[in-house]
Amino acid sequence: MSATSAEKYTIRFIHAEEWPAVKELRLASLQDPLAHVAFLETYEQAVSRPDSFWQERAAGGAEGSLGVRQVIAEGADGTWVGSVTVLIEEAGSEDWAGMTVERLQGHLVGVYVRPEVRGSGLAERLFGVAVEWAWSRDVERVRLIVHEENPRAQAFYRKVGFVPSGRTVPVAGQGGQSELEFVLDRP
């Protein structure tokens, strides 16, 4: 697939009523061969969640939300082929790993692009919109966490300007495995 094929997709924020598509794309991401090092939940956990969970998740990350935004790539036929979610983390709050957030920052999570469109430039477009939205919220930096055994993702994050901060997060229940923090400072 050529790099220009990424231009066939619309990059936008989700709407609350699109919860079925939020659910479908998340379930697809959790069936990826690298899901075990990319996401903090399993397919089995996610598929068992009630519709009310997906409705709340979509509403929380929809256009208009100030603390969370989910960005998606949508084909002309309405199919969602990629997503990234931005969380705004307030200084002094506690993050998902129980660590104190040191500064106002964006945190990218749930990064996924369907295999058939990987390498097309679509992930770069998703990240561009996500990071720009984070900057619009006056964050000092944007960060993400990546498993130490996910070199493909690490290479992509470096390609789009993120660098390792040196901070590691132990993976709960994974016997000594760690995740690495990558950061992008505000220009």
Looking at residue 98, its pLDDT comes to 82
Across the chain, which has 187 residues, the per-10-residue mean pLDDT values are 66 97 97 88 96 97 94 95 97 88 95 94 96 97 93 94 93 77 94
Give me the half-sphere count of Cα atoms (radius 13 Å) on the Cβ side of residue 80.
Answer: 24
Looking at residue 36, its pLDDT comes to 83
**Segment holding 147, helix H or strand E:** strand 141-147
pTM of the model: 0.92
Looking at residue 6, its pLDDT comes to 66
